[in-house]
Amino acid sequence: MSDIQRINELTDHVLKMQMQEKALNADLKRVKASITQAETELVGLMQQNHMTVAGSALAVAELGEKIVPHPFDWAALHAHIQHTGDFDLLHRRISLTSYNERFQAGVAVPGIEARTLTTVKVSPHG
């Protein structure tokens, strides 16, 4: 096989894989949206029924909580980052790891308040 033939094959292969990736990403987006919708409804129903654990024949759902940063004053946060150099707080969103390190050390970050987010974990039996 000549190099030109191989180049043509690889070019076609890359294009086919890109098209397949695009289709899979669209499917993944739909699946993630469906999971998010179902988890939101599941959390609501479990809270409404004062449940922290529920189960079916296939899975167990358990409510939990985690602390997440929620910026409410971006100007104060920006000023803090500029003053301290704590740019690790940012990564297109507040860095959970960096925020949690400060939160656990008792360091208040201006412009951020801690909010409790209810979570659900679904796993198979066994």
Among residues 51, 68, 87, which one ends one of the domains?
51
Query: What tens digit of pLDDT does each residue of 89-121 get?
Result: 887 678 889 999 999 999 999 999 989 988 878
Q: Which residues contact 98 (CB under 8 A, 6 or more apart)?
A: 86, 88, 89
DSSP 8-state secondary structure symbol assigned to residue 49: T
Terminal CA-CA length for the chain: 53
Q: Which domain holds residue 32?
A: 1-51
Query: What tens digit of pLDDT does each residue of 58-75 get?
Result: 999 999 999 999 999 999
The phi-psi region of residue 87 (left if phi > 0; otherwise alpha if psi is between -120 and 50; otherwise beta) is alpha
Has this prediction a pTM greater than 0.75? no
- Biggest CA–CA distance in the chain, Å, is 69
Query: What tens digit of pLDDT does each residue of 7-30 get?
Result: 989 988 988 999 999 999 999 999
Alpha carbon 113 to chain centroid, angstroms: 19
CA dist list (Å): 63 to 11, 57, 72, 101: 48, 18, 26, 24
Q: What type of residue sits at position 91?
A: H
Question: Are 44 and 89 in the same domain?
Answer: no
Show the tokens assigned to 72: 């409410």
Question: Are 34 and 69 in the same domain?
Answer: no
Question: Are 47 and 78 in the same domain?
Answer: no
Question: Are 41 and 101 in the same domain?
Answer: no
